[in-house]
A and B are shown apart, each in its own frame.
Chain A
Amino acid sequence: MSTAATKASHVPEQSARFAEILKRLVDKSVDGYYNPYREFDWPDALPEQMPWMSEDLMSTYGTQVAEELTIEESQRLSRWESINFYSLNVEGIRELLIEVIKRIHTAGFELPSDFFHHFIGEENEHMWFFAEFCLRYGNKIYSGPKLHSIPHDNAQVENFLVFSRILLFEEIVDFYNMRMAADDSLHETIRKVNRVHHEDESRHIAFGRELVSMLYAELARTMTDQQRQEIEQYLKRYIVFSLRSFYNPQVYRDARIDKPLEFRERLVSDPARRDLERKVVRKPMSFMVKSGIFADDVLPAI
């Protein structure tokens, strides 16, 4: 099914605006092009006595559980949570590349296809440096169960959901990237990986917000209120799912924490975590509410 919003909008000014934004983002991408394979210094090892993750980004931050950890346990946890963060990026980028490659130069995606070439190229490079970090310093990439989401039977809805998921994923990751790029308690290699990713992602997020808004405007012309509520509920659950992926029991096992499942349960059920998670998703939630995609900012149980 054609996605008219990305071919030629019903509102000509909207198409013209989108084309102008795409041109600006492509120009920025070309001007800022760098060779990721030469961009980073990869020391043989990173110091184990330093944090690898900003303290306030740890899944334990703000909880009683954090107080109970020894310094050694906190340092081990910091290392494995760091590997988990970059692994989530590897997993997320794999999914988004599959979806964008399925759509590039197909009917309905004529306008953004040129930008997609830059997007795919840059995401491939991000995946490389995240994987390099994981394998070099953790000797592993964490992975989840291979249960894939069943596509929505309406192609127009599915396109909207795919690009909304990509945008939400990028916005959540960007919160972590910005914090760690600015955190001088971290090793320069860690700060640089986060800084470089943030710089590219700011273009991808700008693009994603435009595309998601256009796809939604197109969808809103025909959908029922019940369909709108289902979409809202699904995307809110996706946000909760993404936040939960930072509480990985395998990470707690690797950090040699006793009873990792109970440890995780104590963390996810701690009310102090809700406020911190809210900070992580503040920007995308605000965008979704302002765009009319979400009626409110209440997050459901998963």
Chain B
Amino acid sequence: MHSERDQLKQWILARHPETPDIDPDLDILENRLIDSLAFVEFMLLVSRLSGEEIDMETLDIDDFRTLRRIEERYFRAGVA
């Protein structure tokens, strides 16, 4: 059973075969692993996995910068 963080990571890696792994503190937006074209689908994946309704108009982009931040904000499990 994969954690939500692993599922998010796999979703990104499947779209970036040149990237071997993603550090939980890497800024995935600044590094264009998630760009403006992929962001909505990625955000909806976070919403589906967390069961939390995310308002597309008012969401805080910074909450999606790193896998750790996403986990803290939407899954509240913390990252080792």
Instruction: Check if A283 is an interface residue, CB within 8 A of chain B.
Output: no
Interface residues of A (CB under 8 A from B): 143-150, 234, 237-238, 240-241, 244-245, 249-250, 261-262, 264-265, 301-302
- Of B32, B47, B56, B57, the residue contacting A150 (CB under 8 A) is B32
Q: How far is the CB of A243 from chain B (nearest CB, A)?
A: 11
What per-residue 1/0 map shows which CB atoms of B41-80 lie under 8 Å from chain A?
Answer: 1011001100000001101010000000000000000000
- Determine the chain A residues whose CB is within 8 A of the CB of B36 once the complex forms: 147-150
A264 to B43, CA, bound (A): 14
A10 to B21, CA, bound (A): 46
- Determine the chain A residues whose CB is within 8 A of the CB of B41 once the complex forms: 244, 302
A237 to B32, CA, bound (A): 14
In the complex, the 8 A-B pairs of residues with the closest C-beta atoms, listed nearest first = A149-B36, A241-B37, A143-B57, A147-B39, A237-B37, A147-B36, A261-B48, A145-B56
- Determine the chain B residues whose CB is within 8 A of the CB of A245 once the complex forms: 40
A149 to B14, CA, bound (A): 21
27 residue pairs of the A-B complex, CB under 8 angstroms, read A144-B56, A144-B57, A145-B57, A145-B59, A146-B61, A147-B39, A147-B61, A149-B35, A149-B36, A149-B37, A150-B32, A150-B35, A150-B36, A234-B37, A237-B37, A237-B38, A238-B37, A240-B37, A241-B37, A244-B41, A249-B44, A261-B44, A261-B48, A264-B44, A265-B48, A301-B14, A301-B15
Q: How far is the CB of B17 from chain A (nearest CB, A)?
A: 12
A238 to B14, CA, bound (A): 18
Instruction: Check if B33 is an interface residue, CB within 8 A of chain A.
Output: no
- Determine the chain A residues whose CB is within 8 A of the CB of B61 once the complex forms: 145-147
Q: How far is the CB of B34 from chain A (nearest CB, A)?
A: 8
- Determine the chain B residues whose CB is within 8 A of the CB of A250 once the complex forms: 56
- Determine the chain B residues whose CB is within 8 A of the CB of A148 once the complex forms: 36
- Determine the chain A residues whose CB is within 8 A of the CB of B59 once the complex forms: 145
- Of A143, A238, A261, A265, the residue contacting B56 (CB under 8 A) is A143
- Determine the chain A residues whose CB is within 8 A of the CB of B43 once the complex forms: 145
- Determine the chain A residues whose CB is within 8 A of the CB of B56 once the complex forms: 143-145, 250
Check if A244 sits within 8 Å of B15, measured CB to CB: no
A145 to B39, CA, bound (A): 8
Query: Which chain B residue lies CB-closest to A237?
Result: B37
**Given known contacts A143-B57, A146-B61, A150-B35, what 14 new A-B pairs fall within 8 Å (CB)?**
A143-B56, A144-B40, A145-B56, A148-B36, A149-B36, A150-B36, A234-B37, A237-B37, A241-B38, A241-B40, A244-B40, A249-B44, A301-B14, A302-B41
- Determine the chain B residues whose CB is within 8 A of the CB of A146 once the complex forms: 61
Instruction: Check if B13 is an interface residue, CB within 8 A of chain A.
Output: no
A246 to B72, CA, bound (A): 31
A262 to B29, CA, bound (A): 26
A244 to B56, CA, bound (A): 14
- Determine the chain A residues whose CB is within 8 A of the CB of B35 once the complex forms: 149-150
A234 to B57, CA, bound (A): 24
Query: Which chain A residue lies CB-closest to B39?
Result: A147
A153 to B47, CA, bound (A): 33
- Determine the chain B residues whose CB is within 8 A of the CB of A249 once the complex forms: 44
A146 to B44, CA, bound (A): 15
Q: How far is the CB of A191 from chain B (nearest CB, A)?
A: 30
A144 to B55, CA, bound (A): 9
- Determine the chain A residues whose CB is within 8 A of the CB of B38 once the complex forms: 237, 241, 302
Check if B37 sits within 8 Å of A302, measured CB to CB: yes
- Determine the chain A residues whose CB is within 8 A of the CB of B40 once the complex forms: 144-145, 241, 244-245
A238 to B61, CA, bound (A): 20
